Amino acid sequence: MLRDIGVAAFEDLVDAVPADARLKRPLRTPGPLSEVELRRQVGRWSESNAAARAVSFMGAGLYDHYIPSAVNAIAGRSEFATAYTPYQPEVAQGTLTVIFEFQSMIAELTGCDVANASMYDGSTAVAEAALLARSQTGRARIVVAGALHPNYLDVLRTYLDGKGLTVVTDKGGQCAPEDLQAALGPDVAAVVYQHPNFYGLLESPRTLHRLAHGAGALAIAVCDPVSLALLDPPGAAADGDPGADVVVGEAQALGNPPSFGGPLLGFFACKLGLVRRMPGRIVGRTVDTQGREGYVLTLQTREQHIRREKATSNICTNQGLLATRATIYLSLMGREGMREVAEQCVRRTHRCLELAEAIPGYRRAHDGAFFREFALECPVDAAVVCAAGRAAGVLPGVDLGQFRPAWKRWLLVTATEQRSAEDIDRWAQVLRTAGGAR
Amino acid sequence: MLRDIGVAAFEDLVDAVPADARLKRPLRTPGPLSEVELRRQVGRWSESNAAARAVSFMGAGLYDHYIPSAVNAIAGRSEFATAYTPYQPEVAQGTLTVIFEFQSMIAELTGCDVANASMYDGSTAVAEAALLARSQTGRARIVVAGALHPNYLDVLRTYLDGKGLTVVTDKGGQCAPEDLQAALGPDVAAVVYQHPNFYGLLESPRTLHRLAHGAGALAIAVCDPVSLALLDPPGAAADGDPGADVVVGEAQALGNPPSFGGPLLGFFACKLGLVRRMPGRIVGRTVDTQGREGYVLTLQTREQHIRREKATSNICTNQGLLATRATIYLSLMGREGMREVAEQCVRRTHRCLELAEAIPGYRRAHDGAFFREFALECPVDAAVVCAAGRAAGVLPGVDLGQFRPAWKRWLLVTATEQRSAEDIDRWAQVLRTAGGAR
Amino acid sequence: MTLNRKLLIQRGGEGHRGPSLPPCDVPVKPLAELLPGVPLRASLALPQVTEPEVVRHFIALSTLNHHIDKGLYPLGSCTMKHNPKINDELASLPGLALSHPFAGDEANQGSLRVLRELQKALAEITGFAAVTTQPVAGAHGEMTGLMLIRAWHRSRGEGEKRTRVIVPDSAHGTNPASVHLMGWETVTVPSGPDAGVDIEKLRAVLDERTAAIMFTVPNTLGLFERNIREITAMAHAVGAQCYMDGANLNALVGIVRPGDLGFDVMHINVHKTFSTPHGGGGPGGGPVAVAAHLEPFLPAPVVEEQDGRLRLVHDRPQSVGRVHAFNGNFGILVRALAYISTLGPEGLATMSRNAILNANWLKARLAKSYELPYPRHCMHEFVLSGRGLKKHGVRTLDVAKRLLDFGVHAPTVYFPLIVEEALMIEPTETETLDRLEHFAEAMEQIVREAAETPDLLHGAPHTAPVTRLDEGRAARELQLTWRTPAPAPGRTAAPAGKA
Amino acid sequence: MTLNRKLLIQRGGEGHRGPSLPPCDVPVKPLAELLPGVPLRASLALPQVTEPEVVRHFIALSTLNHHIDKGLYPLGSCTMKHNPKINDELASLPGLALSHPFAGDEANQGSLRVLRELQKALAEITGFAAVTTQPVAGAHGEMTGLMLIRAWHRSRGEGEKRTRVIVPDSAHGTNPASVHLMGWETVTVPSGPDAGVDIEKLRAVLDERTAAIMFTVPNTLGLFERNIREITAMAHAVGAQCYMDGANLNALVGIVRPGDLGFDVMHINVHKTFSTPHGGGGPGGGPVAVAAHLEPFLPAPVVEEQDGRLRLVHDRPQSVGRVHAFNGNFGILVRALAYISTLGPEGLATMSRNAILNANWLKARLAKSYELPYPRHCMHEFVLSGRGLKKHGVRTLDVAKRLLDFGVHAPTVYFPLIVEEALMIEPTETETLDRLEHFAEAMEQIVREAAETPDLLHGAPHTAPVTRLDEGRAARELQLTWRTPAPAPGRTAAPAGKA
Ligand SMILES: Cc1ncc(COP(=O)(O)O)c(C=O)c1O
Ligand SMILES: Cc1ncc(COP(=O)(O)O)c(C=O)c1O
């Protein structure tokens, strides 16, 4: 090949690279490892995680849901996994059609008019929603109403450079409308609330929307898509409330494993009127020169590759394959399946609470209706319960002490449809052991 | 649908089924189980096998070789996995081309002219070869020369209805030519020998061929395809010997897991002159009406669906997907990779022997060169060594006592390229522990 | 003009390598020292290709196939139903995939449990006393079943005299071929006008030389033999055994059990009724179920349970012996058990009911445009005749090839032999009404095309990767490996597109 | 005429169901009791379809895609190389796939080990002191890197005044977009005639308002900036930081390390250089590597090792904060580490060398038929101009669309903006000479076609599942979900075939 190129040595090709800056030694990186060795090594790492064996009652934004085998079989196909962004739509109708279906299903779940092709995760979707609200309203302040996931709040703070952020602390777990009212003003771009919130408690979306809209701010809902299979969708109009302007959230739960927190699937849905400010890719339906239906990336003039510094966001690569998985998942589960998933999560988690409340020393940290997650106040540090769980092959919940010292007796508990009654009994046994009350 | 069909009730459709013979109660079968429950149950069964954790030094016809990840990724595609036998070649060129490549690679490995699309397993391939020899020669007696896998011998006996079978017992592990000579006669249809044989020992194929052919019998070699990457292929002519007439064997080792002994991949290769008596499917190359190359099932007049009772065999469904896996495997490994696999198996197994011989009480059961497997005589029952191994997460070899009481101190040992030096050291430690000589 | 489709041996070359192996971390002694005096081969002509190119090669090939995940596959007698993905996942669990039959029962309780549970379920479904899971395909099961019958006759001192098996003329080719493998003789009985066997002709050939009758139920016309219990009784009356070819079990589950129809033994194609994927030709599974009197003869070893522990019992003095080197197609049996467990008792019955419903719906619809030789309610499949199209110079083969242009696979054609220009159609229960309608429309359109544009059918398929292939040439030239020279090169098409 | 391609919502219906859930084995209380007073939704318009139909739907869709396992994918700046299958396998090991970040360090040693080893390897490859693996894409990394720079300036009391970032005109759109996200201003500097940045113009805009320069190395023309060290020195001289967009790192590994070129911070696209599959748009991974002075500002938490135990350290007072809810795209990072480990030190260097070789070979070949605006040796990619074809009325878009007919993907087109009718070609190192030759022949044939049959190009692609799509209509009509009415139906083609 060198001859064809017309050089004598490879070095001639890279002569623009300053000779004295070049690396003159081999890299000190691991390997080379054959597949046999890699499987052994990574297999060992995998086994050293408790998740290799334990049953999990952990949520807090990442859930261990049932993933139908067909999701893996289909999404693993090279055609989906190894394709690039659909820049040549004529040879990317597979990906484009799937995104169109994804957008449609997210719009349906959230009650919004439109949805995009995905965001990095739930937290950055929240942050981008806040930025959208700022540019839409020309106002600066973002008000977080009640218990938003602490990590989401962190990311929002990072994106907002710590400025213009007001947090209306929850009262007994939920946002008190009067507290929110007090925090509002003419400089508020948006009210952000999570529903069900970080503690799993249900908020009053319509009230929050009315307050936000009353102040001329946008209402941004952060939702768990599993809950949306049952709950009144916040993006839809009802009782004179036009609905949230933006609904975002994390859709990992739809056919994707927790995977130590990534890759995830942020979703972003909104009113049609906001679509030109929406971040990320959007697919639209059109026709080809022969009049056949087809799909393309559309509204690209919002995007960085066209608009550069005037783009609505800098996002380029997104979380496409997870959106594909979510689309397959939702298709397999269907309306009835999704409802059942949600109902089972509700019922199994409530069963956990029922058992826990019968054990001396344990009680709910909050009142109020919760969906599929609740904070349990333990008679000992939650870390003690977690340690007891690990010994018994159970991850009994999220130790909230890792977020705030004041929460160190709180355990955030969820049970998906994968947790059997027997699992839940084992879970309760862990609580008994840890609480000292056998 | 019933209306379209023109009946009032489903029962009308099955009115030919005698009413009093019908099943009037629900079946007593397990389930229904959701995927979640199935994974739990079958997962539990899987975990209860020692193989879930132990490193294996077991062979005897089933080997734990490295399977490249790409083999699973490709062969798992619906296009290969869920297609039927390629009866409509125009929409089965994928399967047909793969079989053609499989036949080509098996022919190359064995040194034969042609190979078929697969047999049930190595043992039934041997039996079918014996039947071919009978019909080709018009003679009845099949002579087994030396150490054929005992289970293969069983299957051969079953297929031959126990008749016309002479076993020339090995001498010190190998077939003694004079013993074979003594067993031959004008009624002998074929000489069947395994090479490397059941004990892993190498036979002298050319000598055996000469004896067989001298008696007017066919020579049938039973081979491990991994060994054929290095060994002189018995089907090829050399030194005036035209080679074995038929080479059969088990190709599970080529990209397929042991899977408790099935599904397996019998292969069947032979001289071109025998092709019209060959059992099973064969693919041939041809052209379509536009002159483009293509592949079809050919010589179907040998097969049961055309010839019925005059067919060369009753085989219909074969082991196609395993042949696909083997073809992908051989393609990925290539000439160099296959040689290296074989060499590593030789070296690692010889390393086992080296370590074992240094432990008091252990010694080889036979002399003579062996390929990738050897019988080790233990100071205690092999079952004791196996039990010690299980406790230590090692399956140290095959306890030959399960075949014959006289062999109860013999452990048949193999180490594939997957067994590291460290694994082999652990193996030796098991031997020490079991032998009482720490 | 995509890259010319080449065989892998024509790609790559020196220096191209796939995935690597671990380094040899044991002492690397020269082979000549480890294999003293052993003749080694001089060359090995396998491809040398990189992983990306291997992957592309096989993925490109894969796309040339029709498969069940692409569309309807109404191959009569093959029961091409959906293969749930979970079953493949379970069969590849490491503890199962890596389990080794010689590791001992203690080490293999999980694998033995699978065999045991499946055997129990199959015995229940078929109404028999015991099941062997050693046979790996239908034909293998047939052979095994006939061996059991032979062993039973021998045990009664009738081994020598009973050497004939009576098989209806509608039987699958494996039946007579399996009979032949026993060294026995096939006696063919013709079907009567209602597609049932001609009872009088049957009676005429049944005698003390009869080892067995071998019936497919429902038969290969998809019809249930009304007189089946009289027939099995007649056979028993002369001391013969009754073998049922269970390839069509998909019609019967939860409705009627072969053991209750007078049969003594049957095989089951798990790659049909129990949805294990067909893999482009296999592997399948052909368990054999038997009445109690045949149990002692089952291939050894058998699985037995005692106090919850399972073991393989080899000591079976009356056994016909092994028919497989190990335990049958275990990985396939895992899938079958998973399928049975997923459906559960009611689901299994619904499966057969829906298979029957789908077939009858399609039959009723297509009877309007094709000839239906046996106008009765069918079970899970039915047979049409394409004879009526001959007047247009169109044959069943043309219909089959034309169907490929509609994205569906052709039915089984020219079988059973007793129907002229047969089209044997089995839609299975996993197809929706949408799919059946689409298939029916295609079949109807083809009837119109036969009259109006018969050459369109003669030239079909038009949209497949290749047009009709020259099978005669393949059989004449016998190019069976890539070492044989390729046929004269075809036209290299320029990329499509109107200039 | 295959079954009309429908959206899933148009299929199935009542009674159609996918896989089932376990029965609810806890007390089934009415929802109204568990969710008292909570407003529930009235309807949920999701499809109801069976598993077989869902599988077919998505498999049929999948076949409409080009993908790296199908053929060449020479998208410049995207590094579409082969994705080894083993990497996917490893990422789905249950212990990794199910690990939960809130389970605590004790429970997650394996996952933390992956992060730690990858961070070490990336630091070594890039020549930087530390790496964060939190950012999940290149653009996310850019934002994170700029935040680190901002934090550093602030720590030195210069936060207020440094609000400008200098970006060459050849830069990718994410660069200015990321700058904008910081509330900063982009200053664009033009490229000189040798495609390097115009040093004098650069000098003119560098001042104490400059927060950073942001360079892609090699640049998006595939050319290595000869003066890069002078440039970084110039920037440092005015107190600015130097950000390297590492999207093109595939050209540099083992050859030169960005940390040794004067850069302070860079991001790495693991979905390019380290071969994690692109998934039809993502997920990727955008780790950021920094020199020691920026380390205190990295997003919290960071992984630390002590006595072989790993932990996530949150107490990082100077941290810019979190940029991701958890630990970045962990599953992708597993793949990247597996890739790095497979290649090993020498393999990594060979990777970049071969990427450069392949690109130069193709460049030398195509320079004979296309205009090469910058006739220099390139690194891993190069840019041609299709300007010469305009005289035939053919544009680069036509070339791109026509290439699809040859079974290869089009290069990146109309980028970088500084080349008229740009074709940006990156073959990657995993392509064989065969594949490059085929691509070159296709490109050459297209030049001939442009002269002889330009309409063939205007109408291209001819063999793709659809012809060119009306993007204007899509943007006008905004049919963004299946609730919007479908466009006027297209022609329903009769099955192909000449009557
Ligand atoms: C009626 C009938 N019997 C027997 C068989 C043979 O089964 P197998 O192919 O599994 O050997 C078939 C297979 O097509 C069949 O349809
Ligand atoms: C030069 C360059 N910079 C940045 C990016 C953005 O990376 P990502 O798509 O991962 O956000 C790209 C991606 O195409 C690129 O080519």
B255-295 per-position pLDDT tens digit? 999 999 999 999 999 999 999 999 999 999 999 999 999 99
Instruction: Find out whether A302 and A135 touch, Cβ atoms under 8 Å.
Output: no
Structure confidence at residue D153 as a pLDDT band (50, 70, 90)? very high
pTM confidence score: 0.97
Give the position, in ligand 1's atom list, of the atom nearest the Cα of B314.
Answer: 11
Q: Of the candidates D19, D88, D89, which has its C-beta nearest B34's C-beta? A: D19
Q: What is the pLDDT of residue D1?
A: 37
The pLDDT tens digits for B378-395 are: 999 999 999 999 999 999
Contact D341 A258 (CB under 8 A): no
Contact D85 C442 (CB under 8 A): no
Q: What are residue D289's DSSP bridge partners?
A: D131, D266
User: How do A218-223 and A188-194 pair as beta strands?
Assistant: parallel
What's the CA-to-centroid distance between A86 and ligand 2, angstroms?
Answer: 15
Q: Of the candidates C46, C94, C491, which has its C-beta nearest B108's C-beta? A: C46
Q: Which residues of D touch C12 (CB under 8 A)?
A: 432
For D453-491, where are the alpha helices, taking DSSP H only?
A: 454-458, 471-477
- B34 to chain A, minimum CA–CA distance in Å? 10
Q: Which residues of B touch C343 (CB under 8 A)?
A: 31-32
Sheet holding C164-168, edge to edge: C130-132, C288-290, C265-268, C241-246, C210-216, C164-168, C185-189
What's the CA-to-centroid distance between B142 and ligand 1, angstroms?
Answer: 30
Q: What is the pLDDT of residue C183?
A: 95
**Chain B touched by C372 (CB under 8 Å):** no
Q: What is the pLDDT of residue D499?
A: 34
- For ligand 1, whether the C-beta of C447 sits within 6 Å is no
Contacts of C197 (CB under 8 A, 6+ apart): C168, C189, C190, C191, C215, C225, C227, C231
Give partners of A (≥3 CB pairs < 8 A). Answer: B, C, D
Q: What is the pLDDT of residue D498?
A: 38
ipTM computed for the complex:
0.97
- Starting from the CA of residue D412, give the closest ligand: 2
Instruction: Find out whether D63 and A79 touch, Cβ atoms under 8 Å.
Output: yes
Given a cut of 50, whether residue A174 has pLDDT beyond it is yes
Nearest CA to ligand 2 atom 8: D138
**Chain B touched by A82 (CB under 8 Å):** no
Query: Cα D408 from chain centroid?
Result: 19
Q: Which residues of B touch A418 (CB under 8 A)?
A: 36
Q: Tokens representing D255?
A: 């050859």
Mean per-residue pLDDT of chain B? 97
**Chain B touched by D101 (CB under 8 Å):** no
Q: What parts of chain C have a pLDDT lower than 70?
A: 1-4, 486-499
What values do phi and psi take at D215, rounded to 5?
A: -120, 145
**Chain C touched by D387 (CB under 8 Å):** no
What's the CA-to-centroid distance between D138 and ligand 2, angstroms?
Answer: 5
Average pLDDT over residues A46-62: 97
Of the candidates B344, B349, A13, the residue with the CA atom closest to the CA atom of residue D378:
A13
Top-ranked range on mean pLDDT: pick from A290-304, A406-420, D185-199: A406-420
Given a cut of 60, whether residue D491 has pLDDT beyond it is no
Share of chain A above pLDDT 70, in %: 100
**Chain B touched by A46 (CB under 8 Å):** no
What's the CA-to-centroid distance between C241 and ligand 1, angstroms?
Answer: 20
Length of chain B measured in residues: 438
Q: Tokens representing B429?
A: 């430690």
**Chain A touched by B172 (CB under 8 Å):** no
Q: What is the pLDDT of residue A307?
A: 83
- D85 to chain C, minimum CA–CA distance in Å? 9
Q: What is the pLDDT of residue B304?
A: 82
Q: What is the pLDDT of residue A306?
A: 81
Q: What is the pLDDT of residue C2?
A: 43
Average pLDDT over residues A369-397: 97
Structure confidence at residue A437 as a pLDDT band (50, 70, 90)? low
**Chain A touched by D427 (CB under 8 Å):** no
Query: Which residue among C269, C288, C414, C425 has the greatest number of ligand 1 atoms within 8 angstroms of its CB, and so is best to mutate?
Result: C269
Q: Which residues of A touch C20 (CB under 8 A)?
A: 32, 34-35
- A317 to chain D, minimum CA–CA distance in Å? 5
Mean per-residue pLDDT of chain A? 97
Contact D40 A231 (CB under 8 A): yes
Interface of A with C (CB under 8 A): 32-37, 68-70, 72-73, 78
- For ligand 1, whether the C-beta of B316 sits within 6 Å is yes
| Angstrom distances, CA of residue B6 to CA of B321, C194, C372 | 42, 20, 16
Give the position, in ligand 2's atom list, of the atom nearest the Cα of D139.
Answer: 11
The pLDDT tens digits for B61-108 are: 999 999 999 999 999 999 999 999 999 999 999 999 999 999 999 999
Contact B34 D55 (CB under 8 A): no
Instruction: Find out whether D442 and C1 touch, Cβ atoms under 8 Å.
Output: yes
Distance CA B245, CA A369 (A): 79
Share of chain A above pLDDT 90, in %: 96
Q: Tokens representing B312?
A: 């060369």
- Find, in chain B, the residue whose alpha carbon is nearest to that of A69: B35
- A399 to chain D, minimum CA–CA distance in Å? 7
Q: What is the pLDDT of residue D486?
A: 66
- C46 to chain A, minimum CA–CA distance in Å? 21
Given a cut of 70, whether residue B60 has pLDDT beyond it is yes
Residue B223 identity (one-letter amino acid) = C
DSSP string, D328-383: SSHHHHHHHHHHHHHHHHHHHHHHHHHHHHHHHHHHHHHTTTSB-SS-S--SS-EE
The pLDDT tens digits for D252-283 are: 999 999 999 999 999 999 999 999 999 999 99
What's the CA-to-centroid distance between C172 and ligand 1, angstroms?
Answer: 7
Distance CA C240, CA D132 (A): 79
Contacts of C403 (CB under 8 A, 6+ apart): C409, C410, C411, C442, C443, C446
Structure confidence at residue B317 as a pLDDT band (50, 70, 90)? very high
Q: What is the pLDDT of residue C487?
A: 58
Query: 10 Å Cβ neighbour count for A379?
Result: 17
Q: What are residue B411's DSSP bridge partners?
A: B376, B399
Burial tier of C317 (Cβ tally within 10 Å: 0-12, 13-18, 19+): exposed
Contact A66 B417 (CB under 8 A): no
For A116-219, where are the alpha helices, taking DSSP H only?
A: 122-137, 150-159, 177-183, 205-214
Q: Of the candidates B83, B287, B350, which has its C-beta nearest C67's C-beta? A: B83
Nearest CA to ligand 1 atom 16: C77
Select the residue from A33, A34, A36 to test the B interface by mutation, using most B Cβ atoms within 10 A. A36
Q: Tokens representing C354?
A: 């829906």
**Chain A touched by D165 (CB under 8 Å):** no
Given a cut of 70, whether residue A84 has pLDDT beyond it is yes
Distance CA A234, CA A243 (A): 6
Query: Cα A50 from chain centroid?
Result: 23
Q: Which residues of A touch C59 (CB under 8 A)?
A: 78
Q: What is the pLDDT of residue C488?
A: 53
**Chain A touched by C93 (CB under 8 Å):** no
Contact A73 D51 (CB under 8 A): no
- Find, in chain A, the residue whose alpha carbon is nearest to that of D366: A5
Structure confidence at residue D142 as a pLDDT band (50, 70, 90)? very high
Given a cut of 90, whether residue B301 has pLDDT beyond it is no
**Chain B touched by D59 (CB under 8 Å):** yes
Average pLDDT over residues D204-214: 97
**Chain D touched by C432 (CB under 8 Å):** yes
Give the position, in ligand 1's atom list, of the atom nearest the Cα of C248.
Answer: 1
Distance CA C237, CA D408 (A): 71
Average pLDDT over residues D468-484: 95
